[in-house]
Structure formats: C-alpha cells, structure tokens
Amino acid sequence: MQLNSRAYQVDDLMAAQELYHSNGWTDGLPVVPPTEGAVKACLEWAGMAPDQIIGIETVREQAVTAEKVAINAVMAGCLPMHFPVVVSAWQGMLKEEFLVHGTTSSTGGCAVLVIINGPIRREIGASGGFNALANSDRATACIGRAIRLGLINILDVRPGGIDRSTLGHPGKFSYCIAEDEEDTTWTPLGESRGIRKGVSSVTVMAAMGPRQLMNEWTHAPEEILETFAAEMRASQRHYSIYGGNQVVVIPKQLRDILQTAGWSKADIGRFLYERARIKRKEWADVGKGAVVRDRGESVYTALDAPESCLVVAAGGPAGGFGAVIAPWMGHKTKAVTVPIGACVDCGPEEKKA
C-alpha cells in the first residue's frame, strides 16, 4: 500500500507536537503522531485504498480521501477498529442535505454530532451509559475528535478561516454518543431510520450544544415530555424559530417510566411535534419584536415532522435528567444516517429525515 501524503521527519514525540501545532493542524490538544504504519493499519482494517474517495465537498470542490481521513483519525487517538465509524460519519456529512460547507462555516457555530448504533458499539467499547455525551469512553471520545480534526485539516475548517463561528461549543472538540441498545425496549435510532436490523450505523447531525433538563417529580409520560418540549420552545424563542431534526437523549430513569407506560419513540416524536411549537409573536417577548411583522399568529414547530425527532436511549442509570440537542438553523440542514461497513462502493442504504 502506497500512501500519497507528504511526510516529515521529526526528532521525537515533542517535536511532532510542535510541528502539528505550529502548522495549525490540531484542535489545541496534543495529537497522536500519524505514522505511516498507524495510518495503513486503519486503511487495511476498513479494506480501503489510500486514494479512495469518501465524498466530495461540492462548494469548494474538495475531494475527501480515505488516507486523509485515516491520518486525522490516528491523530485523534483512534484505533483501526474505530476507523469504519469515522468513514461512515464522513459519508453522511458529505451528503448534499447535510450542507457540510454551510454548517461548518456558519457564524452560528455548531458541531457535528455522531450517533452510533448497532453491534459495532460493543466491538469498539462505545458506551451509552454514565457521562454519555462527554468522554464516557475511549471510542466515542476519539471518533468525535477525529471528525473535528478532519474538518480542520481536510476542509480547512479552522477558526477564522472557513470556520466563521461567532461562538463555538465544547462539542467541537468531540461530539459522539452511542445508544444504550441493551437497556431499552425501544427500536435503535439507526433501525428507525431505515437501517436493517443488526446492521451498525452512524447518524450525523449539525448540532448545537446539549441542553440538560431535569424532571424527577412525576411518573406521567406527558409531564416528563412536556419538560423536553419546554426546552425546544425556549430554543425556538431565543435561538432559531425554524423546525428541523431535534435529538432527544433519554437516560434510564425517565426512559423506564415512558417504556413502562407503553410509549414508543414514534409516540414521543408525535407528542413533541404537537407540543413544541410557538407563535411568531412570542419573539417580541425575547427582544425580537422587530421581525415579527404581520406574521405574529404564524405557528412554528420545533420539529419539521414527528419523525424528525431523533430519540436516543443513553445516559447513566440514575437521575431524572435528559437532554435536547437543537439543530443548526432548523431544516436548513438534515441529519443523515448511513450504515457502517467496509464496502463504500456497493451502494449503501441511506435514510434521511
């Protein structure tokens, strides 16, 4: 296997760090030096040639090759077995409806959220338990970081360069979660979005930071979900009024109540679609009256459809907490789900919201 990237000879580990930092090739944290051996190991694990094109960023006409994705994955700390997840995430991000250039260059700083489903979670040790959404385990931490490093280096998404974010959020270091499929009766997210049962998948979404909420004082499903709806309405008022995908992370304590009462993910989506909506005139309450105009009675839903609600079973076993993750600018980007597999030329199934 012949790699095509330019190589640099450095004296030691510290010299490698300085080379990468001084060239603007990092996220500010130390990186694992991407040696030829480590990069080849990733490519061989996935059965990919170095020059295999994973996709094209069409606005700047940039091809994304397997070799460059592998180099950045190694830098992020990925093991070869993590690499197929990173590749699939890139395939999703490079779908037209994801709008990768717009979402990564926008002043409305968002991060790419990666959601992992299927058997691969257990193979790579991706946990959907304690401290989900933040360094719960090595696999999700490294995979999420690989996406950001890849954006920085392959698509030039550096702060002040292509990345024009006014404010970012901590998910721009790493933003990856695995669904806790073993501890739920719900259909895994990937399967609910068209991936065949038992096939691993990754869902990517251009996402704002997670907003935690708490309701430990009821066993009524409607009341629990009303708390989630309230967070969505709040976001519509102070961030973007437009509906799109919304990720709803439901840990075990609240999940058990909903499951016992017979609520499915689809039921939750329908409920939140009905309840999470505001009238445009509410913008006047939060200082945005100038753009209400004659559309004060117009109704805006936080979800553009019930099935745009991406319910994820994850989180530690105790605590009546949950999280809502709003999309970057409503429907202007779409979450994308793709199957994870070594073969990327054989027409993978895909499902979009």
CB of 172 to another protein, least distance (A): 17
By beta-carbon proximity to another protein, the closer residue of 96 and 222 is 96
By beta-carbon proximity to another protein, the closer residue of 116 and 154 is 154
Token digits of residue 337:
């789900």
By beta-carbon proximity to another protein, the closer residue of 11 and 198 is 11
Nearest to 91 by CA among 114, 110, 61: 114
Contact (Cβ atoms closer than 8 angstroms) between residue 303 and residue 276: yes
Nearest to 271 by CA among 252, 250, 251, 285: 250
Residue type, 100: V
By beta-carbon proximity to another protein, the closer residue of 68 and 265 is 68
**Alpha-carbon span 206 to 204, nearest angstrom:** 7
By beta-carbon proximity to another protein, the closer residue of 114 and 329 is 329
CB of 252 to another protein, least distance (A): 37
CB of 33 to another protein, least distance (A): 5
Contact (Cβ atoms closer than 8 angstroms) between residue 210 and residue 324: yes
DSSP state of 11: S
Token digits of residue 143:
């995979």
Token digits of residue 83:
């690499």
DSSP state of 187: P
Task: List residues binding another protein (CB under 8 A).
Answer: 3, 5-13, 15-16, 19-20, 25, 33-36, 39, 59-64, 68, 71-72, 75, 99, 101-103, 105-107, 149, 153-156, 291, 329, 332
CB of 56 to another protein, least distance (A): 11
CB of 131 to another protein, least distance (A): 29
**Alpha-carbon span 193 to 337, nearest angstrom:** 7
By beta-carbon proximity to another protein, the closer residue of 59 and 261 is 59
CB of 290 to another protein, least distance (A): 8
